[in-house]
């Protein structure tokens, strides 16, 4: 049976963090598409078929919290994992209320991969014969 990589959209306004998270997920076998802001992800979403989103809470115009409840995300039932380096319980509580998972930064590699596997599954998905177009 052919395999297909699970795609994760990574959204963080800090380029070094965005690259590090994408590199870590790719090393584990996931396919990643990286975005500097939520608006860029939403613009590309019709052409992209991610199985999940990893987003920082504190972004530019639109926050990760707003992204998690955006109609384009909820309509597709995309699980969103939110993360932040800020230790404000208000943001943590809000994130836990709207996201499939919440992780404080810095994120340990095994913690990220365990959470990602829990919300989107393994990096490689087996396709059944005849399901290639789905």
pLDDT tens profile 28-72: 999 999 999 999 999 999 999 899 999 999 998 999 999 999 999
Distance CA 50, CA 71 (A): 15
Residue 10: pLDDT band (50, 70, 90) is very high
Distance CA 72, CA 33 (A): 17
Here the tokens at position 124 are 């490689």
Q: Is the pLDDT of residue 134 over 80?
A: no
**Inside any domain, residue 124:** no
**Inside any domain, residue 125:** no
Model pLDDT for residues 54-64, shown as the tens digit of each residue: 999 999 899 99
Residue percentage of the chain with pLDDT more than 70: 91
Instruction: At 67, give phi and psi (nearest 5°).
Output: -60, -40
Q: What is the pLDDT of residue 90?
A: 83
**Inside any domain, residue 102:** yes
**Inside any domain, residue 132:** no
What residue numbers bound the domain in which 49 lies? 6-118
**Inside any domain, residue 130:** no
């Amino acid at each position: 049976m052919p395999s297909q990589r699970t795609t994760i959209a990574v959204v963080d306004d800090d380029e070094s963090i965005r690259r590090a998270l994408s590199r870590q997920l790719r090393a584990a076998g996931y396919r990643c598409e990286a975005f500097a802001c939520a608006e860029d992800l939403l613009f590309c979403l019709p052409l992209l078929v991610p199985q999940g989103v990893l987003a920082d809470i504190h972004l530019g115009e639109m926050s990760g919290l707003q992204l998690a409840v955006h109609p384009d995300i909820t309509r597709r039932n995309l699980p969103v994992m939110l993360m932040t380096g800020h230790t404000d319980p208000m943001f943590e509580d809000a994130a836990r209320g709207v996201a499939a998972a919440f992780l404080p930064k810095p994120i340990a590699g095994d913690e990220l991969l365990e959470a990602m596997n829990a919300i989107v599954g393994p990096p490689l998905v087996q396709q059944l014969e005849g399901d290639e177009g789905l």
